[in-house]
Amino acid sequence: MFSDMTKRLHIIFRGQVQGVGFRYTARSLAQPSHITGWVKNLSSGDVEIVAEADEELLREFQSHVEDHLSGYISDKTIDWQSATGEFKTFEIRF
């Protein structure tokens, strides 16, 4: 559902974030809220998330990801952008 309230959240998580189920956890947290976008491992060892939904849902999603994986995250970079509406689901990219 694309509306004026729809935003794009771009996050890079750093730390021991690969090999701990990060991508699968992010996907399982996004899907029930109908958040669209993707998550993927980066060659740097970081994990990148691009997600679109209403801003409030995205803030909740970010908080849930951080709560579930706080022991693995040492830093993050967050960038809020305008949504494009290009995604239909939330997927893991390889």
- Tens of pLDDT, residue by residue over 45-59, are 999 999 999 999 999
* pLDDT (average), residues 53-67: 97
CA gap 66, 49 in Å, rounded: 12
pTM: 0.95
Element (H, E) at 60: helix 55-69
By the 8 A CB rule, do 37 and 90 touch?
Answer: yes
Task: Just list the catalytic residues.
Answer: 23, 41
- Domains identified in the chain and CATH numbers: 6-79 (3.30.70.100)
Q: How much is the pLDDT for 4?
A: 72
- Tens of pLDDT, residue by residue over 5-46, are 899 999 999 999 999 999 999 999 999 999 999 999 999 999
- Print burial letters for 73-87: b (CB count within 10 Å at least 16), e (below 16): beebeeeeeebeeeb
Q: How confident is the model at residue 2 (pLDDT cuts 50, 70, 90)?
A: low
